[in-house]
Amino acid sequence: MTLKYCQGPKCHTYTTQDRLKGMKGSKTFQTRRRSDFYYGNSNFCSLNCQNDWFGTYGDRAIDHYGRTTEPKKLTEQNAWQKTYDWNSNDDRIYVYLNKITMEQRPLTEAQYRDTNYTINTGE
């Protein structure tokens, strides 16, 4: 089991007992280290640490990966969303619903569960 460190830049400044390490005379508060974390794709031990990271690096990260400068658009071509309903027999039925035209198309359960299956074109 490999342990990893919380990526929060201020994690060590939150002075909880579990972060306190070392013997008397050489005690330090340290960045949390765990096999897994629950926040930010398991990179952060807490929402605070995730927010600290974004506060410190967020603008640079957005500039690096591409800042959104115009609206993205959901059109008739990419507005198909998987959903389900119940028929009169209380069976679950899967459908593709176009959120703009409200057209429905039948969907098999396998297609519904297949995260790669789409009839959308474009983002």
52 sits near Zn ion (criterion: CB under 5 A): no
List the one residue from 19, 49, 50, 96 that touches Zn ion (CB under 5 A): 49
CB of 8 to Zn ion, least distance (A): 4
8 touching Zn ion, by CB under 5 A = yes
**CB nearer Zn ion, residue 43 or residue 83:** 43
Helix (H, G, I), strand (E, B) or coil at 61: helix
Q: How far is the CB of 26 from Zn ion (least distance, A)?
A: 22
| Phi, psi of 56, deg, nearest 5 | -85, -45
- Please list the alpha-helical segments (H only) found in 2-115: 47-65, 109-113
* Sign of the CA dihedral running 31, 6, 18, 47: positive
Q: Does 6 bind Zn ion (CB under 5 A)?
A: yes
CA distance 64 to 33: 28
Which positions touch Zn ion (CB under 5 A)?
A: 6, 8, 11, 32, 45, 49
